[in-house]
Chains A and B, each alone.
Chain A
Amino acid sequence: MTPATAITTAPLDVAALTRALGEATASSGLPGIGAVATFIGLVRDTNLGRRVQHLEYEAYEPLARRGLDLIVEEAREHWPAVRMMIHHRIGRMEIGETSVAIVAASPHRADAFAAARYAIERIKQIVPIWKHEYFEGGDVWIEGATADPDNIEAREKAMRIACA
């Protein structure tokens, strides 16, 4: 059975993930699903004016997996009818490859979109994964947010963005 969350070196397949969520949802007798929102993050060919050649993602795997689980729990607290799966890939990825796949299913579209958006915002805040960017002329570790799952302001910010 496909786990709801995963950190994996294998290529991500959002269609397979969507099917897996549908099967998991159907077998647990949840209220009818009328909407599925998917988000996939791709390796972009430019960043801050640099021409990106490829990325290497690194994770503190056990904590990253817990972080994804926490995000799924947070989403369920706020949108009880939403069912979600989040898989993040690590290792080397070429331009255009999928680094993260989020599938959120819900009775209605608004919650599915919002939950998927919330999840990607939270990933960028609290999940210990790092991008090592290799660009024309050098390489750099990308550093975003200081990870703190207990930071209520960050969580509220993610919620505001999700519900905007």
Chain B
Amino acid sequence: MRVTVRLFARLRDITGAGELMRDAPAGANVGAVWSSLVSEFPELSAYEKSISCAVNADYSRFTAAVADGDEIAFLPPVSGG
């Protein structure tokens, strides 16, 4: 299946793109999408413990299953205000 990965702030700088299309194996969860991204961009591993994730613009967890066509977002610690 194919998913859209959205990246923000420093994560976007590291990968060089705010949006990436990636293949994921059937049954993959959000954590698997993240791990495969970390193998591609090792610098991301510094964020392992501090990122949040969202599926289709709703906060989610690494254990959540992903489906074909989902938008998976990885969010570094926030700094609004």
Contacts and interface: CB of A to CB of B under 8 A. Distances in A.
Interface of A: 41, 57-60, 62-64, 66, 88, 99-100, 120, 123-132, 141-150
Chain B contact residues (Cβ within 8 angstroms of A): what range? 20 to 34
Contact of B77 (A57, A59, A60, A147): A147
Nearest to A142: B79
Contacts of B80: 57, 59, 64, 88, 100, 123-124, 127-131
Interface in B1-26: 6, 8-10, 13
B10 to A, nearest CB: 4
Contacts of B58: 63, 66
Interface stretch (B28-36, B37-45, B48-56, B62-70): B48-56
A96 B13 CA distance: 27
26 contacts: A41-B81, A58-B8, A58-B9, A59-B80, A60-B6, A60-B73, A63-B58, A63-B75, A66-B58, A100-B81, A124-B80, A125-B78, A126-B78, A129-B79, A129-B80, A130-B9, A130-B80, A141-B10, A143-B50, A143-B78, A143-B79, A144-B78, A146-B50, A146-B78, A147-B52, A147-B77
